Structure 1
Amino acid sequence: MSTDAGIHPTYGNWRRPRRPGLGPFGLLGTIGVFGGLVLTLLVSLVSLTAALVVLVPFTVLLLPLTIRTQDGRNSYQLVALRIGWFRRKAKGSTSYVSGPLSPRPGGRFRPPGLLSRITVKEGRDAYDRPFGVLHHRGRNLYTIVLGCEPDGGSLIDPDQVDVWVASWGHWLARLSHEPGLRGASVVVETAPDTGTRLANEVLPRIHPDAPPAARAVMEEVVERYPTVSSEMHTYVTLTYGVPAGQRRKPDETITDLAIRIPGLLSGLVGAGGGSAAPLSAERIAEVVRVAYDPAVAADVLSARAQHGGTGLEWDDAGPAACVETVNAYQHDSGVSRTWMLTLAPRGTVHSNVLRGLLEAVPGTRRKRVALLYRPIDPATSARIVESDRRSAQFMATSGKGMVQARAASEVRAAEQTAAEEASGAGLVEFSLMVTVTVDSDAQLADASVTIRNLQAASRLSMRAADRMQAAAFSCTLPVGILPWEHTLVPRELQEAL
């Protein structure tokens, strides 16, 4: 954090993880380059023609590694994405039907895709509050969901905002010391207010003998209030894994998580999270149900207000039907599109840089902004920052002119990161995803323009998650889906590419 004239603190110095290897080739590409050169030199001792026969294929195979998109993907990764899409489409995996009339066993409305292998259990924390635990059976991961009611930044002193930002940074740094934590996410969901809660609070309290004018005013307020208001929900998910070599029963893991919840909640409250509490299994199912079918949001609120709950189970939280296309995801009463972060804001920003992106957007049914975090343990953090510092110093001493000036800026940033890490700050990899849900395909074009304007105001660079809209939609739900844990290619190998 830096201070401008001691009045307006700014934040920044986030750095894209440096890819190992020579230039754009990556680690595997660099090994291929040197291996090809050595093999070509050895073959050239026999014949120049044979050396050319060896050199040409190596060149053809390595050249696509030098062509990369803005977010660092090479040509092979783009081709693999399209091949995977055509394979899923040929197998019929891009469409999903559930319910009693579907061929799926059980006749229930189970969530599709990445959520299909999740089971939900429930435990009770130290304050005897129920909390749901999502068990990702394929990866043996466990997720808890915490609900928050943030205080907001309106009419708040700047000093208090600075304290909240610092406390949030401390809370994130603390996650790197959480045993077994694989990742965390913060999901901020906004939607037009249905007016159900206001109607349930106001209309039953109108006295039968009230003056007609007063009754008309109250009824008009209840009727018109939803058109100019919105509702906002904030969820924090924490996903834990079982340590390698250990076998633990689910009940033991739930007991362990119950002990951690009070401490995690106190940190969120100190960071401006307002009243925070764990979400029960029923509440998690309701959130997922409304995300897939926004039209039932009012019914869910009515049932909760009248009966204290809906009784909804996880196996009935999914859609009746959904279809994935190249650039959209159709599900029950909504059509969604998801964008992914490609470049964080350059330079420094103020604490309210994401405010416009987090606020409700007129003309949309629902909008979710998901911030994904992968805490790095202290030992790995120290190794990463020292490696970045050495690389930046090497580039600064080997370049000239503009390259040297840019490298000098990299050195200052690397030195600051190393100093902050040495003083106890945590190192966290982060990303951001945005999902917008509308009523029809015709409204997606307007929603795309709106998101493009919002990301420009937030100084973000994002791209649509084309050919993987269904998976991206699941990642923005508060269910603990971590993208790096659900890839066919191991994360270490992807970083080497």
Structure 2
Amino acid sequence: MTAEAIKTPTYGNWRRPRKAGLGSFGLIGTVGVFGGLVVVLLASLLSLQAALVIGAPIAALVVPLAIRTQDGRNVYHLMSLRIGWSRRRSRRQHLYVSGPLSARPGGRFRPPGLLSRARMMEGRDPYDRPFGVLHHRHRNLFTVVLGCEPDGGSLVDPDQVDIWVAMWGDWLARLAHEPGLRGASVVVETAPDPGTRLAGEVLTRITPTAPPAARAVLEEVVDSYPSASSEMNTYVTLTYGIPGGDRRDPDDVLTELALRLPGLLAGLVEAGGGFAEPLSAERIAEVVRVAYDPAVAADVLDARSRPGGTGLRWADAGPAAAVETVTAYQHDSGVSRSWLLTLAPRGTVRANVLRSLLEPTPTIRRKRVALIYRPIDPATSARIVEADRRAAQFMATSTRGMVRARAASEVRAAEQTASEEAAGAGLVEFSMVVTVTVDTAAEVADANATVRNLVGAARLEMRPADRMQAAAFSCALPVGILPWEQAMIPHELQEAL
């Protein structure tokens, strides 16, 4: 054998696009600073007192735009978050009660919050498989949910993993060419295995004439195996919008989405997604029902294995009661806490950087890790990478010392991004939401410490979604909730802030 070293592929080069503006002010803050200076100078021609009277309120309005947290939020963002939470509490919108004994019309258990106005539809793909489509009527968006069983990275050659990563990047790049696609997400859900499927497979096959010793061994396996095993589900959601905001017939939308599914599923299989298929309306309702009430997971699996399935409908997939607090979200038999990504791993990483975060955690009832993607069309991608490239070159030529060394590294990263985009690679904005569910509120503190350890091992920086735990919980579900589509302020204006 030779002493040739085995190189492990590394990945990275993700970076935040540089925003226009002076320092941390942003575009709007920069316009406010220079506009205020012009107004103050004109007022100073009259008198010094007039300049002070005009300049003081302008400074009071502009300075909060420059004070930012680590994740880029300014004072106005923090104030709007607290004001919104106070308004929801005063209107008692943080409380939710449904069912026959509630004041809600219909007496059904509809999902709350961002999912309260969603409507479920169902169609058939070219292979005559049923697939559910969630219609978010307030935004006129349509979401398709795909279920897949990834092959995993154990006992797989690094070359094969590198191929999967390349094919996954190609699949994400092709999403930018999907007509009307607004965003996508990948949700990995882990939970302890209740053993229902194992019991259904083993106990039903034991014959009455089986030896007592063999029967005892099988029964012991059924009782003890679930304590050391776990359940892992992976979902991919694709959310489409109607170009121009036009209203279209739901049947036409279902037909168009059905024609796109085979190509999307084939791309997932090539990227290591394993067996992939669209989820039916009943299956989507089951996933949401178990998320809100983890105690019924075993009953849902048991009913699904029987002829006829669960028969669960979207109108009954929500909780009977839910209470949102500053730091948690209580719903039926579980208490959840969510975290939002603030900074991706710096430098280069290996393919298994998220393994510790995605693997099951024994002390947590359920855990969902949602990667949210926003594909950018090729024309906008070219403008973004060229603007980043010019900004990096300007910083490299206008700085000195150690700061210049960092600026030179930024230039190399920007040049690599520009060359990859010119060669056909796609540009995608991404974020992450992590939600953990425990049995009682007393266990939230332990879950918080566990998540901090997992996030540190993955080299991520995340912050708790305080004062918006209910919305973050919905974003982590495989139902196609896109945060930038739910905001009252347009995405372009938020970027300018």
Write out per-residue CA displacement over residues 380-399 of structure 1, whole angstroms, 9 at most, x where no aligned residue: 00000000000000111111
Aligned to 1:357: 357
SS in 2 for 1:10: coil
Within 5 Å, give how 1:1-400 maps onto structure 2. Answer: 7-244=7-244, 246-400=246-400
Q: How far off its partner does 1:211 sit?
A: 1.6
**C-alpha distance in 2, partners of 1:423/1:459?**
30
Higher mean displacement: 54-63 or 381-390: 54-63
The question of whether the paired residues in 1 share the 8 Å contact of 2:195 and 2:225 is answered with yes
Q: How far off its partner does 1:275 sit?
A: 0.4
Which amino acid is 1:122 matched to?
A: E
Which amino acid is 2:126 matched to?
A: A
SS in 2 for 1:244: helix
Query: TM-score, normalised on structure 2?
Result: 0.98
Which amino acid is 1:95 matched to?
A: L
SS in 1 for 2:25: helix
**C-alpha distance in 1, partners of 2:326/2:353?**
31
Which amino acid is 2:337 matched to?
A: R
Aligned to 1:432: 432
**C-alpha distance in 1, partners of 2:191/2:20?**
43
Taking structure 1 as reference, are residues 496 and 301 closer, same or farther at Cα in structure 2, changes over 3 Å only?
same
Q: How far off its partner does 1:237 sit?
A: 0.2
The question of whether the paired residues in 1 share the 8 Å contact of 2:269 and 2:276 is answered with yes
**C-alpha distance in 1, partners of 2:336/2:89?**
19
**C-alpha distance in 1, partners of 2:245/2:97?**
38
SS in 2 for 1:147: strand
Higher mean displacement: 48-57 or 274-283: 48-57
Taking structure 1 as reference, are residues 328 and 255 closer, same or farther at Cα in structure 2, changes over 3 Å only?
same
The question of whether the paired residues in 1 share the 8 Å contact of 2:140 and 2:245 is answered with no
Q: How far off its partner does 1:7 sit?
A: 1.7
Which amino acid is 1:182 matched to?
A: R
Write out per-residue CA displacement over residues 40-99 of structure 1, whole angstroms, 9 at most, x where no aligned residue: 111111111111111121112211112111110001110110010010000000000000
Q: How far off its partner does 1:249 sit?
A: 1.3
**C-alpha distance in 1, partners of 2:292/2:247?**
35
SS in 1 for 2:306: helix
Within 5 Å, give how 1:445-484 maps onto structure 2. Answer: 445-484=445-484
SS in 2 for 1:352: coil
SS in 2 for 1:222: helix
**C-alpha distance in 2, partners of 1:258/1:6?**
44
The question of whether the paired residues in 1 share the 8 Å contact of 2:29 and 2:66 is answered with no
Write out per-residue CA displacement over residues 277-300 of structure 1, whole angstroms, 9 at most, x where no aligned residue: 000000000000000000000001
Within 5 Å, give how 1:397-416 maps onto structure 2. Answer: 397-416=397-416
**C-alpha distance in 2, partners of 1:127/1:34?**
61
Q: How far off its partner does 1:247 sit?
A: 3.6
Write out per-residue CA displacement over residues 347-368 of structure 1, whole angstroms, 9 at most, x where no aligned residue: 0000010011000011111000
Pairwise CA RMSD: 1.0
Higher mean displacement: 358-367 or 55-64: 55-64
Runs of at least 5 residues in structure 1 that lack an aligned partner in the other structure: none
Write out per-residue CA displacement over residues 197-246 of structure 1, whole angstroms, 9 at most, x where no aligned residue: 00000001112122211111110100011100001000000000000164
Which amino acid is 1:493 matched to?
A: L
Q: How far off its partner does 1:308 sit?
A: 4.0
Which amino acid is 2:257 matched to?
A: L
Which amino acid is 2:412 matched to?
A: R
Higher mean displacement: 326-335 or 153-162: 153-162
Runs of at least 5 residues in structure 2 that lack an aligned partner in the other structure: none
Which amino acid is 1:299 matched to?
A: D
Query: TM-score, normalised on structure 1?
Result: 0.98
Which amino acid is 1:385 matched to?
A: V
SS in 2 for 1:24: coil
Q: How far off its partner does 1:6 sit?
A: 6.2
**C-alpha distance in 2, partners of 1:462/1:143?**
27
Write out per-residue CA displacement over residues 441-467 of structure 1, whole angstroms, 9 at most, x where no aligned residue: 111111111110011000000010000
Aligned-pair identity in percent equals 76
SS in 1 for 2:9: strand
